[in-house]
Structure 1
Amino acid sequence: MSEATAIASIDKQDLDNLIAKNSEDLEEQKTLTVRTVCDRKMRSLNHARDLEPFVIDEPPGLLGDNTAHNPSEIVLGAFGSCLVVGIQANAAAKGISLTKLEVELVGKINISSTWGTGELEKPQVGFSSVEVKVDIDGDASREELDALVQHANEWSPVSNTLSRPMPISVAMA
């Protein structure tokens, strides 16, 4: 039986430096900006920072061309990725070497109103539940790994965004 290869970790000193920097002002909020441009039909290009735009599209069953993930899949992917980041950071902080980290997310979603163009008397649209399963292995006990996962979820900005109400303002430019 061969030993599992460790997943590349973040640098502990870099993490400590980031912790120190972020601890200077606990009330400071960062501003993130994404500019979304309709490319065609249900396909949009999303511009963030100085990166190439990421594409979002709908599958044919939702009138798209199936060229990219749909918005709801991106939400689940953002949640899964945020958990991975939190688990990796906390594993590094605790000196835990991970050999496997996979997150599977399954969301139950209501789209019955067809983006507000159909029946509007139906139940509230959007995700009604999300089930997350984390497949993780490393040089720690199952209990320590579970605590790591639960801690990452508790402190995940995306998990907190999805699980609590927040004001959203939408206006004409």
Structure 2
Amino acid sequence: MTEVYIPSCLRPIDSTGLKNLSEQGKANPETIKTLKSKTVLEGQFKNLNYIRGLDPIIVDEPPGLLGEDTAPNPSEMALLSLGSCLSVGIQANATARGIPLHKLEIELEGDINITAVWGTGDIDPNKLLGVREVRAFFTIEADCSKEELEDLVQHATKWSPVANTYINKVPVKPHLVS
């Protein structure tokens, strides 16, 4: 894993804004937001992914999976989405609890069986696809006890939308448009 420079003090989030978001959630607990993205195949296995008005996010496969190795593959993107979601949750909950964070790093490992090769390989109908287990390793430096950090990590994981996407069954409903 590549070492990354982390400043000694992490940039805080707006605690008033967080409190306002929290109050909105409590006042409207049934609110559902629809997220949208568009994926356009460039060629081979390289895809350009568009979200909101942001620059495209590239997703590719490594050479061992016949890609050009220009970007993370879809499963790696799901893993890094989980890491980012857990990080956001820890930062939000640390802020809500008045815990200043000095360092937050999350290393994730996910086990996946890829022998089905997108439905062209071993397609035993009893095969379980997707990531089977994720291990998350948290390195956190903060002004609180280890017990408080453990509670913070457990709470953020329990309420992480992406962690819950891994944990809970989510129906995927394909529709051919044209």
Q: Provide the TM-score with structure 1 as the length reference.
A: 0.95
Whole-Å separation in 2 of the counterparts to 1:72 and 1:5:
32
- Across the aligned residues of Structure 1 and Structure 2, the Cα RMSD in angstroms comes to 1.2
Shift of 1:153: 0.1
1:54-100: CA deviation from partner (whole Å, max 9, x where unpaired): 00000011000000000010010000000000000001111111111
1:103-136: CA deviation from partner (whole Å, max 9, x where unpaired): 0110110010111011212732211111111111
Asked if residue 99 in structure 1 is aligned to residue 91 in structure 2, the reply is: no
Please list, as runs of the form range in 1=range in 2, the aligned pairs for 1:124-135 lying within 5 A after superposition. Answer: 124-135=128-139
The answer (yes or no) to whether the contact 1:37–1:46 under 8 Å persists in 2 is: yes
Shift of 1:171: 1.3
Identity rate, percent: 46
Asked if residue 167 in structure 1 is aligned to residue 171 in structure 2, the reply is: yes
Whole-Å separation in 2 of the counterparts to 1:50 and 1:140:
39
Please identify, of 19-28 and 125-134, the stretch whose mean Cα deviation from structure 2 is larger.
19-28
What is the aligned partner in structure 2 of residue 138 from structure 1?
Answer: 142
What is the aligned partner in structure 1 of residue 4 from structure 2?
Answer: none
Runs of 4+ in 1 over 3 A off after TM superposition: none
What is the aligned partner in structure 2 of residue 152 from structure 1?
Answer: 156
Q: Provide the TM-score with structure 2 as the length reference.
A: 0.92
Asked if residue 120 in structure 1 is aligned to residue 123 in structure 2, the reply is: yes
Whole-Å separation in 1 of the counterparts to 2:132 and 2:25:
33
1:143 match: secondary structure: helix
Structure 2 runs not aligned, ≥5 long:
1-6
What is the total number of aligned residue pairs between the two structures? 170
Asked if residue 43 in structure 1 is aligned to residue 62 in structure 2, the reply is: no
Whole-Å separation in 1 of the counterparts to 2:14 and 2:156:
18
1:28-70: CA deviation from partner (whole Å, max 9, x where unpaired): 1001001011011101011001101100000011000000000
2:109 match: secondary structure: strand
Whole-Å separation in 1 of the counterparts to 2:15 and 2:122:
53
Whole-Å separation in 2 of the counterparts to 1:108 and 1:100:
27
Q: Supply the AA of the counterpart residue of 1:84.
A: S
